[in-house]
């Protein structure tokens, strides 16, 4: 068999490449539209040169490929483009995907704050502000056509050269029409003032020669009496030789009029120049490789990408951030600093951004873009350049992605809030902050309105942090039920009621034939699932940090035993003592010997653009947390094993199975202990130097527990329990034997026949 396989002729390289592209989700199309659609696909480098100084009027849809409403609206916009394609070149339709980060800047320049946004650009427009928001009564094609015609008629200065006249014809113009216009036929459509039939037929016949169409209003009594019109709409066909007759159409149907006129003798389609945009010669993008995700894992790549996209795309759309919108942004960033369990390099970035943002009264778009840049002088405070979807990757680019990751981020924050702040009867900070973010920044406005409706309905009834977890879970499932089976639902990853039984078998129960949710089990599952993050598909960060005035290369995330050994080979205890000797705490401010205020201290600057002297005093070392990066996540599996013995029982009569009351359990999260230290606004080394003896003992106890797990590898808890029981029984047996022989010796010593020395 191996010999036969070795002799088999390998398939051509081109065939393999084609097969890979066919199997790769999203390899063919990167948006909601394709080049075969009768509209123009615009990009950042083609939008302005297509729309500005054009002799045609343009209607552009600014959309986001991940937006659910945009996905639902795409078939309507595609059908509209097919319906009015004969209106070209008077009216051109275009689309641009603002979800593509390459188009984000140009979409922001055009003032796009929500999706989808339709903008009408008159002929010979000069700048983005010339675009007029296209309002319509609904998402049906007829409403859109009427809005386009109304906007087209507002050309007051320069009428589009390729557009026929749409105003009603007068008596004087009618009498001299054939002397001025070299056509054989003139179709007159008599209609009411609010009818769009005549204008639609006029635009439909734009590309056809030897025929003209004009409308006559019912209020023009002279022409109405002249042609003896009694029904509206009605059509009359006039020829250049002076004859006229009634058009045999008895319904208000635009297609009947156009079909009749196009079949007239001598009427044919002319040659019109249709402006098209050639493909740009930009850099070729390679298809995104498919990432095989484990449903049981929560990926750091997804939640970090949600943070990245929310800050660099969603927030950056606005030309000015002030008042309520700026307050919502400050709350959002502060919440991420407080509860987001990101990698150290990302957390340093968020802390710097939070410090810079706090004193701001208003932020311009240029200031925000400057603040979001990764600074060379801050190599240990960075955001990824591009989002990476793993657990939220869809079968096509328009599916899942950012909305999925944003839901995941919000679930993660509610769980981290409950684990790190165990005070039970305190309100949630995450829910109101999340509500404000969705209201002011989430691009899909229809989705934001739905979420706001759910929040206004019952969010104020949430009393504590555990209820916040369950509230968000139930509302997410409500959204999944509403969107299941719609055009925005990924067929490969259909929207289901989560969690499914294969992830949490105890979360769903069947009672009397009805499926019920056990909220107590759901709460336990959420606290377990959203307390572990996988670093798969993320490149390890290798960062530089400053120690005693010289640059030292930190160990990367793949270094083994980071908590067990220090940089110079000493153990954790010795490193703690060394840090205590070299770092001092003075009024909440750390002064390091050997670190001058000149050059190297700039690496620790929390302000990203400009920073006052007072702000500098509040900065913290943004790189010290790097030494706990990978081990913090590698030890998750060992920590979970010890959670069963560290759980805190709490009486929760509000939480139980649906329609029932029961008692719940709250799992202890080891992250909370370290996060408590990390929130004291000092770096790792400073915190270690300031730790109390009890805190140091906890760290050493954790180290001993880790050694216990290492020594006990390969043995289950039952095996260890049996060993302890056997050891106890053997000890008692030996003690019993010793007591028996001791008493027997004493008895024999007192017996008369006992031999004496």
Reduced to 3 states (helix: H, G, I; strand: E, B; else coil), residue 60 is: strand
Rounded (5°) CA angle 617-623-626: 150
| C-alpha dihedral sign at 319, 322, 327, 333 | positive
Beta carbons of 67 and 302 less than 8 angstroms apart: no
Q: For strand 40-41 and strand 91-97, is the pairing parallel, antiparallel, or unpaired?
A: parallel
Question: Could you count the other beta carbons within 10 Å of the beta carbon of residue 690?
Answer: 17
Annotation says 507 is catalytic: no
Q: How far apart are CA 531 and CA 508, in angstroms?
A: 21
Annotation says 404 is catalytic: no
Beta carbons of 326 and 437 less than 8 angstroms apart: no
Q: How far apart are CA 475 and CA 479, in angstroms?
A: 6
Report cis status (omega within 30 of 0) of the bond before 89.
yes
Q: How far apart are CA 743 and CA 737, in angstroms?
A: 10
Strand partners, 650: 664
Report cis status (omega within 30 of 0) of the bond before 168.
no
The long-range contacts involving 671-677, CB below 8 angstroms and separated by at least 24 positions, are: 671/341, 671/416, 671/419, 671/420, 671/531, 671/632, 672/419, 672/420, 672/422, 673/698, 674/628, 674/632, 675/341, 675/420, 676/420
Separation of CA 72 from chain center:
18
Candidates 247, 274, 224, 223; CA nearest to 88 is 274
Q: What does DSSP assign to residue 351?
A: H
Q: How far apart are the first and last CA of the chain?
A: 89
345 phi-psi bin (left φ>0, alpha ψ -120 to 50, beta other):
alpha
Question: Could you count the other beta carbons within 10 Å of the beta carbon of residue 560?
Answer: 10
**How buried is 39 (Cβ within 10 angstroms: 0-12 exposed, 13-18 middle, 19+ buried)?**
buried
The continuous run of DSSP H or E covering 334 comes out as helix 323-339
Query: Which of 20, 70, 98, 392 is an active site residue?
Result: 70
Q: How far apart are CA 613 and CA 597, in angstroms?
A: 12
Query: Which of 67, 163, 392, 404 is an active site residue?
Result: 67
Residue spans of beta strands (DSSP E) within 240-277: 244-246, 268-269
Q: How far apart are CA 262 and CA 201, in angstroms?
A: 11
Residue 431: CB partners within 8 Å, gap ≥ 6? 414, 455, 459, 462, 468, 471, 472
Residue 211 has φ and ψ, to the nearest 5°, of -150, 145
Beta carbons of 452 and 441 less than 8 angstroms apart: no
Reduced to 3 states (helix: H, G, I; strand: E, B; else coil), residue 4 is: helix
Instruction: Please identify every residue annotated as catalytic.
Output: 67, 70
């Amino acid at each position: 068999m191996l010999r036969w396989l070795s002799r088999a002729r390998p398939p051509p390289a081109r065939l393999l490449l084609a097969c890979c592209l066919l199997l790769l989700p999203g390899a063919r199309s990167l948006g909601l539209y394709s080049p075969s659609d009768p509209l123009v696909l615009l990009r950042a480098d083609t939008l302005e040169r297509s729309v500005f100084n054009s002799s045609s009027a343009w209607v552009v849809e600014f959309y986001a490929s991940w937006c659910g409403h945009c996905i639902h609206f795409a078939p309507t916009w595609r059908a509209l483009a097919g319906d009015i394609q004969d209106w070209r070149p008077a009216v051109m339709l275009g689309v641009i995907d603002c979800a593509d980060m390459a188009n984000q800047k140009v979409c922001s320049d055009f003032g796009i704050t929500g999706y989808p946004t339709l903008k009408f650009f008159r002929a010979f427009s000069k700048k983005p502000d010339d675009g007029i928001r296209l309002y319509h009564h609904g998402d049906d094609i007829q409403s859109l056509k009427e809005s386009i015609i109304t906007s087209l008629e507002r050309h007051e200065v320069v009428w589009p050269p390729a557009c026929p006249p749409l105003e009603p014809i007068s008596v004087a113009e009618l009498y001299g029409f054939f002397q001025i216009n070299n056509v054989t036929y003139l179709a007159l459509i008599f209609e009411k003032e609010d009818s769009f039939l005549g204008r639609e037929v006029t635009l439909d016949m734009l590309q056809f020669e030897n025929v003209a169409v004009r409308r006559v209003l019912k209020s023009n009594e002279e022409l109405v009496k002249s042609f003896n019109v009694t029904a509206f709409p009605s059509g009359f066909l006039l020829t250049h030789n002076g004859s006229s007759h009634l058009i045999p159409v008895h319904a208000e149907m635009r297609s009947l009029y156009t079909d009749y006129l196009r079949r007239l003798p001598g009427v044919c389609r002319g040659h019109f120049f249709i402006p098209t945009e050639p493909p740009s010669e930009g850099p070729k993008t390679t298809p995104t490789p498919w990432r095989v995700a484990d449903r049981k894992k929560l990926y750091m790549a997804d939640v970090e990408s949600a943070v990245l996209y929310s800050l660099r795309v969603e927030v950056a759309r606005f030309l000015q951030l002030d008042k309520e919108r700026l307050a919502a942004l400050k709350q959002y960033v502060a919440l991420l600093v407080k509860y987001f369990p990101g990698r150290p390099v990302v957390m340093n970035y968020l802390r710097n951004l939070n410090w810079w943002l706090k004193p701001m009264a208003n932020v311009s778009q240029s200031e925000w873009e400057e603040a979001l840049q990764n600074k060379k002088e801050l190599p240990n405070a960075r955001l990824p350049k591009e989002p990476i979807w793993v657990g939220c990757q869809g079968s096509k680019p328009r599916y899942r992605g950012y909305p999925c990751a944003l839901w995941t981020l919000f679930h993660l924050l509610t769980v981290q809030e409950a684990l790190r702040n165990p005070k039970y009867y305190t309100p949630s900070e995450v829910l109101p902050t999340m509500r404000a973010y969705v209201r002011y920044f989430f691009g899909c406005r229809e989705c934001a309105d739905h979420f706001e409706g759910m929040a206004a309905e019952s969010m104020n009834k949430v009393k504590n942090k555990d209820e916040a977890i369950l509230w968000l879970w139930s509302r997410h499932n409500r959204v999944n039920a509403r969107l299941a089976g719609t055009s925005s639902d990924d067929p490969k990853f259909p929207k289901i009621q989560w969690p499914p039984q294969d992830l949490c078998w105890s979360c769903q129960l069947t009672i009397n034939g009805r499926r019920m949710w056990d909220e107590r089990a759901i709460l336990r599952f959420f606290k377990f699932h959203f307390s572990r993050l996988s670093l798969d598909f993320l490149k390890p960060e290798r960062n530089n940090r400053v120690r005693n005035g010289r640059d030292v290369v930190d160990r990367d995330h793949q270094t083994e035993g980071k908590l067990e050994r220090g940089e110079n080979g000493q153990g954790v205890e010795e490193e703690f003592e060394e840090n205590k000797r070299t770092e001092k705490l003075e009024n909440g401010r750390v002064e390091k010997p050997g670190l001058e205020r000149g050059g190297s201290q700039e690496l620790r600057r929390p302000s990203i653009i400009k920073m006052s002297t007072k702000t500098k005093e509040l900065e913290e070392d943004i790189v010290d947390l790097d030494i706990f990066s990978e081990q913090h996540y590698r030890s998750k599996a060992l920590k979970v094993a010890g959670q069963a013995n560290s759980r805190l029982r709490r009486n929760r009569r509000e939480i139980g199975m649906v329609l029932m009351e029961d008692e719940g359990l709250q799992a202890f999260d080891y992250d909370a202990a370290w996060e408590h230290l990390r929130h004291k606004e000092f770096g790792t080394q400073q915190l270690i130097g300031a730790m109390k003896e009890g805190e140091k003992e906890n760290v050493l106890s954790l180290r001993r527990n880790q050694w216990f797990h290492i020594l006990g590898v390969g043995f289950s808890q039952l095996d260890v329990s049996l060993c302890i029981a056997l050891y106890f029984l053997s000890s008692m047996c030996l003690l019993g034997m010793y007591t028996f022989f001791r008493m027997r010796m004493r008895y024999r010593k007192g017996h008369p026949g006992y031999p004496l020395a």
